[in-house]
Amino acid sequence: MMIPVTFWSYFAELAGCAETVVTVSDGATIEVLLKHLYTSYPALAEMRRSTLIAVGVEYQDGEYVLKAGDRVSLFPPVQGG
Amino acid sequence: MMIPVTFWSYFAELAGCAETVVTVSDGATIEVLLKHLYTSYPALAEMRRSTLIAVGVEYQDGEYVLKAGDRVSLFPPVQGG
Amino acid sequence: MKRFLSITHDPIDEAGLLAARSMSAGMGAAVYFSGVVRAQEGSELIVAIDYSCFVPMAEHQFHRLFDQLEQRGSVESLRLIHRIGRVAVGEASLWIEVVSAHRGEAFSACQWVIDEMKRVVPIWKKPVLVTEKPVA
Amino acid sequence: MKRFLSITHDPIDEAGLLAARSMSAGMGAAVYFSGVVRAQEGSELIVAIDYSCFVPMAEHQFHRLFDQLEQRGSVESLRLIHRIGRVAVGEASLWIEVVSAHRGEAFSACQWVIDEMKRVVPIWKKPVLVTEKPVA
């Protein structure tokens, strides 16, 4: 299953790109996807405690089971206003 | 000592006039002035628990000692806004 | 603290007040409140409220409140307009603007001024009921 | 509840928003908040803030907040404009208006929306320092 991942705000600078695609097996959780990601983007791994995760337009946590068609977003704490 | 007294809001309707003058002896307090007033205007006496008192533009209470030149105002709770 | 106070029979010109707003570069928040006469006062339908005011005392008490706010030191500007006389349903009787560095201060100062005003500023309301004849 | 949401690169036209305001006869309070970019961000002097936004998610999250507010039942209208892209010092990045029957509800709803926005709506700030060269 190929899951597109978008990095927002300075996470894109830390990753060196704004988007990537991660291949995970069926039934994989976000936790699993993050493990893959953090291997490729160690600078993001350092931010894991202050990382927000969304699938589509909803917040999700590590236990969320990914489905085909899901789009994942990773970003730092929001700062509107 | 002649002390002018103004009634504001519906206190003027209860009194039947917007202004009066009360004669009190030197050293009289507002308490004394009110006693005179309430004899002349019994409808105001019934409102005494919800009466605010000012001398000039400052709030005062019954213990305030009146001076020549003081102008007293009596009014119900305020309702700005 | 910059302050502007007006107790007036004229309609409140919100657009004009907005156009006259000034904020220095350190200020991050402006909070406005517009209080409008509602069609209902308690259980009765009304067409307007007649506001009466002991003007010199009202001005003095407003400025005492502004003095207290100034001592807090966090508000750059406060503008307050209270309309008196007959104010029709749907028209504003009160407009307040507070400019401050941060929104928390601006919100709390604005609400504080309204609360204190309702405690100490000598202004009174008399509802004009639907059944009453208009005053010419 | 009437709602208007705009996430936009355009300057916030407060006067136009004010002119478009509507309040029904039962409403007594309008509370506005205008959030303006300050010359200082932390300890650094800045000339602007670049706001970035994950727009579809931001819109969705704003509407979730508005849904929650609507369930309280006390707000007649909520209008919110958040500017994105480069916003210069002294310009508004955020404008909110809440119309309600009573001022307590209007003040609390307005502050609640700002607090919740800062928790869940994906918008980020990047200060533009005084020393940086302008972006053409």
In terms of Cα–Cα distance, which of C121, C14, C10, C124 is closest to C57? C121
Q: What is the pLDDT of residues C11-68, one digit of tens each?
A: 999 999 999 998 998 899 999 999 999 998 888 899 999 999 999 999 999 999 999 9
In chain C, what are the domain boundaries?
2-10+27-129
Rounded to whole angstroms, the Cα distance separating A47 from A22 reads 19
Provide the residue range defining the domain that includes A45. 2-75
Residue A43 lies in a domain: yes
Residue B80 lies in a domain: no
Q: What is the pLDDT of residues B34-47, one digit of tens each?
A: 999 999 999 999 99
Tell me which chain D residues have a C-beta less than 8 angstroms from the C-beta of C115.
none
Superfamily of domain D2-10+27-129: Molybdopterin biosynthesis MoaE subunit (3.90.1170.40)
pLDDT at C130: 87
CATH code assigned at B9: 3.10.20.30
> Quick check: C135 pLDDT over 70?
no
By CB neighbour count within 10 A (0-12 exposed, 13-18 middle, 19+ buried), where does C21 fall?
A: middle
Domain count, chain B: 1
By CB neighbour count within 10 A (0-12 exposed, 13-18 middle, 19+ buried), where does D62 fall?
A: buried
B with A: touching (≥3 Cβ pairs within 8 Å): no
pLDDT at D132: 66
Rounded to whole angstroms, the Cα distance separating A76 from A33 reads 17
pLDDT band at C90, cuts 50/70/90? very high
Residue A16 lies in a domain: yes
> Quick check: B3 pLDDT over 70?
yes
For residue B57, the SS3 value is coil
pLDDT at D135: 61
Residue A80 lies in a domain: no
Provide ipTM, 2 decimals: 0.93
Residue D32 identity:
Y
> Quick check: D52 pLDDT over 90?
yes
pLDDT at C120: 98
DSSP C79-132: EEEEE-EEEETTSEEEEEEEEESSHHHHHHHHHHHHHHHHHHS-EEEEEEETTS
Residue B48 lies in a domain: yes
Mean pLDDT of chain D: 94
The answer for A22, left when phi > 0, alpha when psi is -120 to 50, beta otherwise, is beta
pLDDT at D136: 55
Residue of chain C whose alpha carbon sits nearest to that of D102: C35
pLDDT at C7: 98
pLDDT at A59: 98
Tokens of C55: 């003007």
Q: Kindly state the average pLDDT of the residues D44-54.
A: 96
The percent of residues in chain B predicted with pLDDT above 70, rounded, is: 100
pTM of the model: 0.94
C18 touches chain D (CB under 8 A): yes
Residue of chain D whose alpha carbon sits nearest to that of C107: D107
Q: What is the pLDDT of residues A3-52, one digit of tens each?
A: 999 999 999 999 999 999 999 999 999 999 999 999 999 999 999 999 99
pLDDT at D131: 80
Spatial contact of D85 and D123, defined as CB atoms under 8 Å apart? no
Best of B14, B53, B57 to mutate (most C CBs within 10 Å, chain C): B57
Per-residue CA distances from C16 to A69, C131, D19, D92 (Å): 53, 34, 11, 18
